[in-house]
Amino acid sequence: MNNNTKIPVEVNPDEDTEWNDILRDHGIIPEKPPSPSAQLEEALEEAVRKQHENRLENKDIDELDALEDKEDEEFLNFYKQKRMNEIKKLSEKKKYGSVLPISKNEYEDEVTKAPKGTTVLVHLSLQSSLQSRLLGSLLTEVARKFPELKVCDIPAQRCIENYPESNCPTLIVYKDGNVLKQYVTLTQMGGNATTLKDIERILVDLHAVGDSDKRLIINDEDEDSQQARSLRFAKKSVRGKGDNDDDDDDDDFYD
């Protein structure tokens, strides 16, 4: 009998045995993959750690002040300074605050050549359009609430000759001379029921406003006011232009 005969031995590389450890050390079998439960545990621990480290990330100055007796002073001061720097940076950007009516000749200077880093919202408007008047009202609130954004209004057909009335209102969002997004009518926002919250969601999606910006929080009174206004617009659109009390409704809207 030949003593050099090699007998194949089956090895399960997933088994946790001393023999497998020797084989792994010599590179004969691959390293045992970590167990899914161990990976999950590690991921959960990492998530908890990050959550704890970032627990002050979205708190404002007043909320940080209220934690003086509960948090480490140096850690707290770091976030206070961070908030103050953010406030300072934001205040430096507050150049606008109201809707700017522009003409076709002013479009390039006011929109495509706006200061670098400035987000510009352009409303191609049509006064006879119900949705355009709604959007105009909402953009007035946006301009006041986010004065670092530049909000412009130009009658659509003065901007683009023979621009279809059915495309009004059109909202174009620019940054650094480039079009980020274009919305033709309010269909993608909420139609006649569009609210300030819908516009804010667009601003967040386009990174024009940070998703943790405290100004995005709308209190219940504002919500009720928006819903009432949206309902009034919806009713008016159902009645149509032929109704005799259109003028009265218009006056109510601009009160």
Centroid of chain to Cα 148: 15
The residue out of 39, 64, 93 marking a domain boundary is 93
67 pLDDT tier (thresholds 50, 70, 90): confident
pLDDT of residue 88: 66
Beta strand pairing status for 178-184 and 170-175?
A: antiparallel
Cross-strand bridge partners of residue 179: 174
Task: Encode 25-38 in three state secondary structure.
Answer: HCCCCCCCCCCHHH
- The CATH number linked to 185 is 3.40.30.10
SS3 state of residue 172: strand
Is 179's pLDDT higher than 70?
Answer: yes
- Considering the domain boundaries, does residue 119 fall inside one? yes
Residues in the chain: 255
Co-location of 110 and 85 in the same domain: no
Query: Are 167 and 200 members of one domain?
Result: yes
Cα 182 to Cα 178: distance, rounded to the nearest angstrom = 11
Give the list of residues 6+ apart from residue 43 with CB closer than 8 angstroms, or none: none
Whether residue 254 has pLDDT greater than 50: no
Please check the confidence at residue 190 and state whether its pLDDT lies above 70.
Answer: yes
> How many domains in the chain?
2
Are 193 and 151 in a shared domain?
yes
Is 218 inside any structural domain?
Answer: yes
Residues 143 and 196: their CA atoms lie apart, in Å, by: 11
| C-alpha span between 205 and 35 (Å, rounded) | 38
Looking up tokens 């667009």 gives 202
Residue 75 lies in a domain: yes
The whole-model pTM stands at: 0.55
Mean pLDDT for 142-155 is 95
**What does pLDDT average to over the chain?**
78
Alpha-carbon torsion 80, 81, 86, 88, what sign? positive
How is residue 181 annotated by DSSP?
E
E-only strand ranges, 20-169: 99-101, 119-125, 150-155
Report if residue 47 sits inside a domain: no
144, part of any domain: yes
pLDDT, position 18 = 74
Residues 193 and 214 in one domain: yes
144 shares a domain with 63: no
Is the domain of 236 the same as that of 192? Answer: yes
Please give the average per-residue pLDDT across 159-172, as a whole number. 96
At 113 the pLDDT is 93
pLDDT at 5 over 80: no
90-114 core/surface letters (b: 16 or more CB in 10 A; e: else): eeeeeebeebbebeeeebeebbeeb
Nearest Cα to Cα of residue 174 among 128, 85, 247, 107: 107
pLDDT at 82: 74
Does residue 43 fall inside a structural domain? Answer: no
Domain of residue 64, residue span: 55-93
Q: Are residues 104 and 86 in the same domain?
A: no
- 108 and 200 fall within a common domain: yes
Statement to judge: residues 122 and 139 lie in one domain: yes
104 or 234: which leads in pLDDT: 104
Shared domain for 141 and 233, answered yes or no, is: yes
Confidence check: pLDDT of 201 > 90? yes
Q: Residue 8 pLDDT > 70, yes or no?
A: no
In a domain, 127, yes or no: yes
Is residue 33 domain-resident?
no
Does 157 lie in the same domain as 125?
A: yes
Whether residues 198 and 85 share a domain: the answer is: no
